[in-house]
Amino acid sequence: MSDSDSSGGGWGDDVTRPLRIYVLRHEKRPVDDPTFDVSLTDEGLEDAEELVCEELNELGVNAVYSSPYKRVLQTVEPYLDQVHVGMGACVEWCLSEHPEPNDTPPTEIPDEWHDEFSIESTHVPLMTAEEAHAKNRTIEQVFNRLADFVELLSKVHDEGDVVLLATHQTSVHALLSMASGIPVDCMDVPMGKIVELDWHGVIKYKYHGGPEPPWACYESHFHPSKNKHGGELKFTYIAAEEDSEED
């Protein structure tokens, strides 16, 4: 656990935290280029250095799993580069972008990135790049590979761990959808946003299917607040047509 874990959250020394998992959508990138080696914009780099890093310190993240894409590694690097953190990113191909944006899907991390970024060289990912690409053709495959990964994390991490999954829009939406039953199309998590994941819900989805909310759909909103990342994630109930007719 990082040194920052003891601060915030109202937890005393005699309280045991459960395993917590957070998901992060990478910071801002050029709108017309989602490919493997594209860099964050200047604004995205600045926000990763300040806003994202600050929030990860407040959360006390002590394990980072990252998509191999450059923009995602750039998003978490300022946090990992701090002396007190003492770890690197565990690169996971199952957290890659969907749909595939590259003419030729990448199969390895460029050698120079190991010098540029804090990457755990001994980490063995859940699946190889080739296996991840084979399971990247449909959104159902993305759901399945992510559910398998979350279940693995629940087994290898202990109580008190604070785990971050740094990834892309589709993966963030898929994970939150499995946990909540809210359709992917009803979500719009912005770049740079960190959201806590109900990982128990993801595992329940894997074995029993997702929850079935008694409503037609949700509309997602990020309500303004003092939070620099746009406030807490909230979902607003949209009444079905028959409900509206009864009013």
Domain count across the chain: 1
Instruction: Please give the residue range of the domain that contains residue 130.
Output: 3-213
CATH assignment at residue 193? 3.40.50.1240
* Helix boundaries (H) for 60-181: 70-80, 113-116, 129-134, 139-156, 169-180
Q: What is the pTM of this model?
A: 0.83
The pLDDT score that the predictor gives to residue 69 is 98
Q: Is residue 77 part of a domain?
A: yes
**Which token pair is 88?**
């690197």
The pLDDT score that the predictor gives to residue 57 is 98
The pLDDT score that the predictor gives to residue 223 is 38
For residues 171 and 21, the answer to whether their CB atoms sit within 8 Å is: no
Q: What angle do CA 238, 176, 136 make, to 5 degrees?
A: 120
Q: Is residue 236 part of a domain?
A: no
Q: What is the distance between the alpha carbons of residues 212 and 245, in angstroms, rounded to a whole number?
A: 23
The pLDDT score that the predictor gives to residue 135 is 96
Give the sign of the dihedral formed by CA 90, CA 91, CA 92, CA 96: positive
The pLDDT score that the predictor gives to residue 226 is 32
The pLDDT score that the predictor gives to residue 224 is 37
Q: Is residue 29 part of a domain?
A: yes
Beta bridge pairs of residue 164: 22, 64
Q: Is residue 232 part of a domain?
A: no
**What is the pLDDT tens value at each position of the chain, 247 positions in all?**
333 333 444 434 445 679 999 999 999 999 999 999 999 999 999 999 999 999 999 999 999 999 999 999 999 999 999 999 999 999 999 999 999 999 999 999 999 999 999 999 999 999 999 999 999 999 999 999 999 999 999 999 999 999 999 999 999 999 999 998 888 888 889 999 999 999 999 999 999 987 765 444 444 444 333 333 444 554 444 444 444 444 4
The pLDDT score that the predictor gives to residue 82 is 98
Beta bridge pairs of residue 197: 21
Q: Is residue 246 part of a domain?
A: no
Say whether 165 sits in a helix, a strand or coil: strand
The pLDDT score that the predictor gives to residue 81 is 98
Q: Is residue 116 part of a domain?
A: yes
The pLDDT score that the predictor gives to residue 219 is 46
For residues 68 and 91, the answer to whether their CB atoms sit within 8 Å is: yes
Residue type, 109: I
- Residue 60: name the closest of 138, 140, 145, 1 by CA: 1
The pLDDT score that the predictor gives to residue 87 is 97
The pLDDT score that the predictor gives to residue 146 is 98
The pLDDT score that the predictor gives to residue 17 is 73
Q: Is residue 221 part of a domain?
A: no
Per-residue H/E/C for 65-78: EECCCHHHHHHHHH
Q: Is residue 75 part of a domain?
A: yes
